Amino acid sequence: MTEHIEDSGRPVVLRVTGLKKRFGSLEVLRGVNLTVLQGEVMCILGPSGSGKSTLLRTMNHLEEVDSGRVELDGELVGYKQRGSRYVTLPEKQLAAQRARIGMVFQNFNLFPHMTVLQNVMESPIGVLRRPSREVKETAMGLLDRVGLADWSHAYPRTLSGGQQQRVAIARALAMKPRLMLFDEPTSALDPELVGEVLDVMKGLAADGLTMVVVTHEIGFAREVADNVLFMDGGYVVERGHPDDVLGNPQERRTKAFLSKVL
């Protein structure tokens, strides 16, 4: 699989190879391989407990790995190699790598004591040390893009879940990430608010942002994903184009899962 997609000539942004992870005696990732090219959207589906969040969290080293590797633009994430040994990077270098990967969580995780605008400006100033005038201009542009320019001085608690999630997306984008990771970004939302968040994400995909999205929104995956990956029990059970994996699944476990969520 890897070979044919690389023939497109597009650069590989993310490569995960032979990734294994256990918590005590529980094997959560049992050897995961995947490749995401620049501008691609990969959707990851699978039942609760199949290892989706853990996989996503290893991609920016929020989680240590037991074996295998994660590479961002060809650079090993989280570790440096010393001969055959892997040594965890110092915190400063981890922070620099994480700054290149945006992450959006199920529960928004906005800073409650900061306004919407302050939330979006925090990391570019605090982490990247960008000048505040420039950061403010970019932040206002991003809030406009997610439809919240009029809410810049509001506090998160006064916003709906859909609005909060759109702020969280703007906040991640403010770091100009190379890659965006979304972990069930609409799962905590009331049904009528799901669409506004998915619409923002569709716009990002259309603009060529490279994204990995854990989601149960099959319609979104069908419409937006270049590749769909179905996980169960720490394995990638089935992968491919959404028309195939979602429209004509081959594996029993994929069929069973889809019949429940569709």
Residue whose Cβ sits closest to Mg ion: 53
Q: Which does 49 bind (CB under 5 to 8 A by kind): Mg ion, ligand ADP, none?
A: ligand ADP
- Minimum distance between the CB of residue 64 and ligand ADP, rounded to whole angstroms? 11
Q: Which does 28 bind (CB under 5 to 8 A by kind): ligand ADP, Mg ion, none?
A: ligand ADP
- Minimum distance between the CB of residue 205 and ligand ADP, rounded to whole angstroms? 22
Q: Which does 54 bind (CB under 5 to 8 A by kind): Mg ion, ligand ADP, none?
A: ligand ADP
- Chain residues 50-69 in contact with Mg ion, contact rule CB under 5 A: 52-53
The span from the CA of 241 to the CA of 175, in Å, is 30
The radius of gyration of the chain from alpha carbons, rounded to an integer in Å, stands at 18
- Chain residues 28-57 in contact with ligand ADP, contact rule CB under 6 A: 28, 46, 48-54
Judged by CB, which is closer to ligand ADP: 27, or 199? Answer: 27
Beta bridge partners of 82: 85
The span from the CA of 176 to the CA of 162, in Å, is 22
Judged by CB, which is closer to ligand ADP: 170, or 237? Answer: 237
- Minimum distance between the CB of residue 54 and ligand ADP, rounded to whole angstroms? 3
The span from the CA of 9 to the CA of 194, in Å, is 35
User: Strand 101-104 to strand 179-183: parallel, antiparallel, or no bridges (unpaired)?
Assistant: parallel
DSSP strands (E only) in the chain? 12-23, 26-37, 41-45, 67-72, 75-76, 79-82, 85-88, 101-104, 179-183, 211-214, 227-232, 235-240
Collapsing DSSP states into helix, strand and coil, what is residue 98? helix
Closest among 220, 229, 234 to 251, alpha carbons compared = 229
Which one of the spans 47-55, 76-84, 190-198, 225-233 is the region binding Mg ion (CB under 5 A)? 47-55
| 3, 7, 23, 207: residue in contact with ligand ADP (rule CB under 6 A) | 23
Lookup result for tokens 């939330």: 119
Lay out the site mask for Mg ion across 100-119 (x = CB under 5 A, - = otherwise).
Answer: --------------------
Q: State the residues that interact with ligand ADP by CB under 6 A.
A: 23, 26, 28, 46, 48-54
Q: State the residues that interact with Mg ion by CB under 5 A.
A: 52-53
